[in-house]
Each structure stands twice: as structure tokens, then as C-alpha cells.
Homo-oligomer: A and B are copies of this chain.
Amino acid sequence: MSVAKEFEAANANYVASFTKGDLQLPPQRKVAVVACMDARLDPARALGLEEGDAHVIRNAGGRVSDALRSVIISQQLLGTREIVIVHHTNCGMLTFTEDVIRDKIRTDLHQNADHIAFLSFRDLEQSVRDDIQILKDSPLVLDVPITGYVYEVETGKIVQVGENQ
């Protein structure tokens, strides 16, 4: 059975007890979370989010340079006024370099992916600081509070990186 079919079965249970049908489009808590796609991180459970609370933008590494389109839409059209970044320990992005994945794609897929910045990193805390700075430096992003965290996959805990910006 495909995982999609399993999702449909699980969704039937969700629908049976669903009570959130009248939520508004703009996020109620006016915050956008930018987090890694990692399977072990559930931003809603780890941060106490209910349906309707927050935009949750996720990609490999939780990198903001790959989230700018979404952040701009979140702020300009849907009124969010705070950003929270969540990277995490044992991230896959720490395990490879741009050359490693480009070489793998060349070997396995016979394709050239040299035009893609895969945004891997070597220093986890620095990756959070870098991403805060990218948002601060972007003229397309509003001057709003930005807080960066490292999520510990071993403990479930979020640990702030640097001071509040």
C-alpha cells in the first residue's frame, strides 16, 4: 500500500473529530516559522501550535534564502509580524557538501545540478545566525522580531541561538 493511502485512512479519523472549520486565513498569532523539513521535527507539537496559529515554512535545512518568496507573501499579504527560525541537531545538511550531491546526481541521474545551491552547512549555530542576518539584510523583509533556535532531536528541546533580533 502506498503511504498516500495510509494518509487517507488517517485523515478519515482527523475529519471525524474536526472542529476547526471556521478559522480565518491570516495566521492568528501573526508569526511565520521557518524550519527544517526533517522528519523528527514536528513544529506544531514542539512549539505548541494549533491549527490557525502560524505559517510554517519548511525546507531542507530550514534555510531562509529558500524561503524568501513565502516570507514576503506571509508578511505582505497575510500580516505576520514575527519570524522564528528552527534548525536542529544531527541535520542532514551537515553531512554533505555541494560537490558531494552534485557528483551523486551526475553519477546516478546523469544530470548536471551545478546550477542549484543546495545550501548545506558545516556549523549548525552559525547557520542560524547566517539566516537571521539574511532576513535582516533583505530589503524585501520587514523589520520584525526574529528569533533563531536549534532544536535538539535527542531531547525535543529548542535552544535559542544568539540574542533576540
Contacts and interface: CB of A to CB of B under 8 A. Distances in A.
A72 B2 CA distance: 20
A154 B90 contact: no
Contact of A48 (B10, B29, B116): B10
Contacts of A23: 39-40, 153
A158 interface: yes
Given A37-B57, A60-B73, A156 B7 contact: no
B54 A155 contact: no
Interface string A10-33: 110111001011010111111110
A84 interface: yes
Interface string A39-56: 111101111110111111
B73 A67 contact: no
Nearest to A90: B25
B25 A113 contact: no
A8 interface: yes
6 contacts: A10-B47, A14-B46, A18-B157, A37-B56, A59-B70, A111-B139
Given A4-B160, A11-B156, A20-B156, 6 more contacts: A2-B145, A2-B147, A6-B48, A14-B46, A39-B52, A44-B45
